[in-house]
Structure 1
Amino acid sequence: MHSTRLLVVGRTFRRLANAASHPVQATRYVSRKLRAPARSKPSPPPAPASPRRDSMQVFAQIQDALNDRMLGRSKGSINLGLRFPDAPSGAFGAAISREPGQRDWTEMIKGLDVPRGGRMLDFGCGASDRRSLAPPLGLTWLGLDVPFSMESTARENRSVVTFYGGVSVPFADASFDLVVSIQVFEHVPEPHTTFAEIARIVRPGGYLLGSTSFNEPFHSESTFGYSPKNFVRMIDEAGFHVLEVTPGIDMWALGIRRLARQFRHDDAAKILAPFFGTTASPLNDLIDGCAAKQGVKPVRANALKLELAGQFNFLARKR
């Protein structure tokens, strides 16, 4: 009611501006309009929901569900009804993990049937942080990296680290039982050559294990981002049978973590803190929760997570 009268007053003063030479008539006009009851207009029929509005509502629901997951609130308040893809066919489909939840390369390495006394190559070893993985497997650790890598100044154990030019690997054929490569393949300049070289130095029955980037929004000095399906094809062509592919942290969480580094205010860091950890992946958690509620098999949930993965893990065996 008040808003209607204010609108009338606005029109009235526009008329007053045109009737400045007739002040008495203008005053009577204002008085009459303010005393008259406001006429109500029929409400227009509701507009049909546009696809954009529907999409925004769904996105808002997803945001609410992600916030619930982050803040530890009830997981059952919102039923998103996700559409899960069918499990892919072929070598890629066979390699997608059938295990629910998160399973990364640190889980894959446990229990590998490598011969004790063998050798492990850390391909792109950086600061040699993974040297401790070799003793529990009964393997001798060696590192390989380029001399101009970002971690070269922090690298220790230089006596067991070999430097190379980034293409031809300086080791003999079939000289390793296990090659581990963590977030390195996205940096190599010639992937096909690199995969062929790794296949050459791994003995038949040996393993290639690690992780690499897919939809990662930013990674220092990256050259490639591999789709999981194409990566499986390339590794297969190099001479490996891919045993398992699992999704890593989702691309959305990686993007938020990257954005968080740009904020100057402490409150922003607190709000985005759940994304600072390397394992916090709320989008993956959301997909797993919906899959469990809808009775969807883990392989289909993992297929969807791989489509949205910032990184993924792999385990392959030399034929």
Structure 2
Amino acid sequence: MTLSFDDEGTRAMERTYTTPDVVRQRAQTLALLAPAPGERILDVGSGPGFLLAQLAEAVGSGGAVRGLDPSPSMNAVATARCAALPQVEVVQGGAERLPFADGEFDAVVSTQVYEYVADIAGAFAEVARVLRPGGRVLVLDTDWDSVVWAVTDRERHRRVMEAWDAHLVDPHLPVSLARRLTEAGLSVTGQQVIPILNVSPDPDTFSVHILRTIATYVRDRLPAGEADAWQEDVLGGDYLFSINRYCVLAYRPAAASPAS
């Protein structure tokens, strides 16, 4: 079962997105996408709208930014965040079927979304369809095998992370991202890792936020008390956390049609 974002979940995610770790990740994502004034950009899985607002500032009043997310709660927060930016529109929907015209966008961006999507081939074909010839896409997702956490009970940690994997359709999607984009008719131009490293359990770090989310998710999927014992283990000794976010940049060739 994947994560759901009701009002409480949306508030928790919004707090995570304000941590310095994710703020830096967003800045690196923007630098890789390189939005330009006047461009039309789609954010697939726009969440609470932080990236939407920054994209809107980059494209200016002559551009357009569209956010797409299946969560009404997330969309309400994103709409409120971008209320003063008329070039932004937030639409409810999923990645498998994009409610936009062929060739409508100069760029598509998506962060931490496609690992939740069952029909990756169809979703990437949709990206190719809505991109103009020469348009680009930046996809960022996590391979959860890249997580390093300092714990004393490695076997319990393995059980927790295996239970956490169940919240995703594919917890190891980055391994095949470039190939899947290529199969959709797109040309991959670059791949990059954005790491997050935390060396203390500061409450304003990504790792402490995700620690609580993981413990809450796995609590009913493991023997009683195991999730809490794991959380105490993580916080009780030497602290170190790292994770890799994998970015793939591709474009729709000008002389080729999108995959059907």
TM-score by length of 2: 0.57
| Aligned equivalent of 1:124 | 45
Q: Of the candidates 104, 107, 127, which is equivalent to residue 178 of structure 1?
A: 107
Letter in 1 for 2:38: G
Distance in 2 between the 1:172 and 1:184 partners?
21
Distance in 2 between the 1:177 and 1:199 partners?
11
Distance in 1 between the 2:247 and 2:112 partners?
9
Cα distance change on mapping 1:229 and 1:161 into 2, 3 Å: same
| Aligned equivalent of 1:106 | 30
**Percent identity over paired residues:** 27
| Aligned equivalent of 1:54 | none
Kept after mapping to 1: 8 A contact 2:42/2:107: yes
| Aligned equivalent of 2:245 | 311
Q: Of the candidates 78, 96, 113, which is equivalent to residue 167 of structure 1?
A: 96
Pairwise CA RMSD of aligned residues?
3.8
Kept after mapping to 1: 8 A contact 2:41/2:64: yes
Q: 1:153 Cα shift?
A: 5.4
Which range is displaced more, 247-256 or 237-246? Answer: 247-256
| Aligned equivalent of 1:201 | 130
Distance in 1 between the 2:194 and 2:186 partners?
21
Question: Is 1:151 the equivalent of 2:74?
Answer: yes
SS in 1 for 2:109: strand
Distance in 1 between the 2:91 and 2:124 partners?
18
Instruction: Name structure 1 gaps, 5 residues minimum.
Output: 1-102, 276-280, 282-308
Q: 1:123 Cα shift?
A: 0.7
| Aligned equivalent of 2:195 | 249
Following superposition of structure 1 onto structure 2, how do residues 211-222 of structure 1 map, counting pairs within 5 Å? 211-215=140-144, 217=161, 218=164, 221-222=167-168
Deviations 1:176-230 (A, max 9, x none): 0011101111112311110000110000111101311212654784211344442
Letter in 2 for 1:135: E
Letter in 2 for 1:141: V
Distance in 1 between the 2:175 and 2:94 partners?
28
Kept after mapping to 2: 8 A contact 1:118/1:177: yes
Question: Is 1:240 the equivalent of 2:169?
Answer: no
Kept after mapping to 2: 8 A contact 1:127/1:154: yes
Kept after mapping to 2: 8 A contact 1:169/1:197: yes
Q: 1:151 Cα shift?
A: 3.0
Kept after mapping to 2: 8 A contact 1:179/1:209: yes
Question: Is 1:133 the equivalent of 2:55?
Answer: yes
Deviations 1:52-78 (A, max 9, x none): xxxxxxxxxxxxxxxxxxxxxxxxxxx
Count of residues in Structure 1 that have an aligned counterpart in Structure 2: 180
Cα distance change on mapping 1:152 and 1:220 into 2, 3 Å: farther
Kept after mapping to 2: 8 A contact 1:105/1:314: no
Instruction: Name structure 2 gaps, 5 residues minimum.
Output: 1-26, 148-160, 200-204, 216-227, 254-260
Q: 1:255 Cα shift?
A: 11
| Aligned equivalent of 1:189 | 118
Letter in 2 for 1:133: L
Distance in 2 between the 1:147 and 1:268 partners?
32
Greater per-residue strand proportion: 2
Distance in 2 between the 1:270 and 1:206 partners?
48
Larger Rg: 1
| Aligned equivalent of 2:139 | 210
Distance in 2 between the 1:227 and 1:163 partners?
24
Distance in 2 between the 1:109 and 1:241 partners?
15
Q: 1:155 Cα shift?
A: 3.3
Cα distance change on mapping 1:270 and 1:227 into 2, 3 Å: same
SS in 2 for 1:204: strand
Q: 1:126 Cα shift?
A: 0.8
Kept after mapping to 1: 8 A contact 2:45/2:67: yes
Distance in 2 between the 1:192 and 1:270 partners?
43
